[in-house]
Amino acid sequence: MTSTLRRAAGLAFIVLTVAGCESDRGELRTWMDEIRRTTPLVKEKLSEPKSFEPFRYPSSGETDPFSVAKLRVDSLGATRAGSGLRPDLTRRREPLEAYPLDNLKMVGNLTQKGATVALLQADAVLFQVRVGNYIGPNFGRVLRVSEDEVAVREIVQDAAGDWIERDTALRLQVQETRK
């Protein structure tokens, strides 16, 4: 009998709680009605969406980059011959080849014996770089040094394992002067 009495008391509590919430709704409704009356309507016309025109890739006479033939390996396990371009793996590596290109900053340049030399910073150390020096982990070789950039040609492998050349540049980092 005590459990029935407890259930009845719990039910009475729930009914009283819900009944108490009904009086709060009226106040909420009047507040919402007042806000609706005092808020101005904004009528902005939406612009027409831009029409989408798909890009057509003219692939006539070129190798499909997703073809299985491009990724095929011959029976010996070696990749196909390709262009014959290969990095010189027997040469002695230079200090700047230990740094990725995005960790190198061109901070200045100078002229020595009529040739422009770039000043590259890596880990708070300055290095002088001339045409022909190697930089970066991808067998990058300096092609040109100008007042505001260092042109680099890297040798990287594509998806098929062929060696290809990729050109990039390090631009002069300009510091803002504080006043």
Q: Which sequence spans correspond to the domains of the chain?
A: 1-40, 83-171
Angle CA 143–145–149, to nearest 5: 110
Instruction: List pLDDT tens digits, range 64-94.
Output: 667 676 655 443 344 445 567 888 888 999 9
Q: State the pLDDT confidence band at 131, using cuts at 50, 70 and 90.
A: very high
Sign of CA dihedral 101, 103, 109, 110: negative
Largest CA distance in the chain: 108
Confidence at residue 160, expressed as pLDDT on a 0 to 100 scale: 77
The hierarchical CATH code for the domain 83-171 is: 2.30.30.830
Selected residue with higher pLDDT from 52 and 81: 52
42-70 mean pLDDT:
77
Whether the model pTM is above 0.75: no
Q: Classify residue 82 as left (phi > 0), alpha (psi -120 to 50) or beta.
A: left
- Answer yes or no: is pLDDT of 118 > 80: yes
pLDDT per position as a tens digit, 134-174: 999 999 999 999 989 999 999 998 887 888 999 999 998 87
